Amino acid sequence: MEQINDQQVRDLGILTDPETATPDVPSNWHLIDWGLVELFVGKLQTRIAQAEQNKNYRMANRLSRSLVRSWQAKALAVRRVTTNQGKRTAGTDRELWSTPDAKWAAVCRLNKPGYKARPLRRIYIPKSNGKVRPLGIHTMFDRAMQALYHLALDPKVECKSDPNSYGFRKGRSTHDACGQLFISLSKDTSAQWILDADISGFFDNINHDWLLANVPMDKRILRQWLKAGFLDKGCLYRTEVGTPQGGIISPTLANFTLNGLESGLHRHLLATLGSKRGSGVKVNVVRYADDFVVTGISKELLVSVVQPWIEQFLRERGLFLSAEKTRLVSIFEGFDFLGWNFRKYESQLAKRQRGFKLLIKPSRKSVSAFYDKVRTIIGKSLSVPTQDLIKTLNPILRGWARYHRGVVAKKTFTRLDSLIHWRLRRWGSRRHPRKTGKWVYQTYWLPVDHRVVFTATGVDAQGEPVTSVLYRLGSTKIDRHHKVFGKFNPYDPSWERYSEIRSAASGEQSILSAARLKLWQEQGGYCALCEVPMNSTDPIDDHHIVYRMYGGSNALANRVLMHSVCHRRVHALGLEVTKPASA
Beta bridge partners of 294: 195, 285
**Can you tell me the mean pLDDT for 66-95?**
90
pLDDT band at 185 (very low <50, low <70, confident <90, very high): very high
- Nearest CA to 145 among 177, 123, 116? 116
Query: What is the distance between the alpha carbons of residues 218 and 454, in angstroms, rounded to a whole number?
Result: 57
**Can you tell me the mean pLDDT for 143-171?**
94
The whole-number pLDDT of residue 124 equals 86
The whole-number pLDDT of residue 504 equals 60
C-alpha Rg value of the chain to the nearest Å: 26
Task: Let me know if 62 is exposed, middle or buried by CB neighbors in 10 A (0-12, 13-18, 19+).
Answer: middle
- Nearest CA to 69 among 114, 116, 111? 111
Spell out a b/e string for 16-39, using b for 16 or more CB atoms within 10 Å of the CB, else e.
bebeebeeebbeebbebbbbbbbb
The whole-number pLDDT of residue 410 equals 95
pLDDT in tens, 466-517: 788 999 999 999 888 889 999 999 998 888 878 767 766 665 455 456 677 7
Is residue 313 over pLDDT 50? Answer: yes
Beta bridge partners of 543: 560
Is residue 7 over pLDDT 80? Answer: no
The whole-number pLDDT of residue 324 equals 86
For the ranges 14-28, 135-149, 431-445, 557-571, which has the lowest average pLDDT? 14-28
Q: Which of 134-143, 237-246, 272-281 has the highest mean pLDDT?
A: 134-143
**Can you tell me the mean pLDDT for 310-317?**
95
The whole-number pLDDT of residue 550 equals 57
**Can you tell me the mean pLDDT for 371-400?**
94
Percent of the chain with pLDDT over 90: 55
Alpha carbon 174 to chain centroid distance? Answer: 9
Is residue 392 over pLDDT 90? Answer: yes
Contact yes or no for 371/419 (Cβ under 8 A):
yes
pLDDT in tens, 247-269: 899 999 999 999 999 999 999 99
Is residue 583 over pLDDT 50? Answer: no
Alpha carbon 56 to chain centroid distance? Answer: 31
pLDDT band at 582 (very low <50, low <70, confident <90, very high): low
The whole-number pLDDT of residue 9 equals 40
pLDDT in tens, 515-547: 777 788 788 888 888 888 887 667 788 888 877
The whole-number pLDDT of residue 564 equals 83
pLDDT band at 549 (very low <50, low <70, confident <90, very high): low
Is residue 67 over pLDDT 90? Answer: yes
The half-sphere exposure of 319 on its side-chain side, counting CA atoms within 13 A, is 27
Mean per-residue pLDDT of the chain? 86
Query: What is the distance between the alpha carbons of residues 157 and 155, in angstroms, rounded to a whole number?
Result: 6
pLDDT band at 440 (very low <50, low <70, confident <90, very high): very high
Contact yes or no for 118/92 (Cβ under 8 A):
yes
Beta bridge partners of 355: 347
Phi-psi region of 282 (alpha: psi -120 to 50; beta: other; left: phi over 0): left
Hey, how many other C-beta atoms are within 10 angstroms of the C-beta on 517? 16
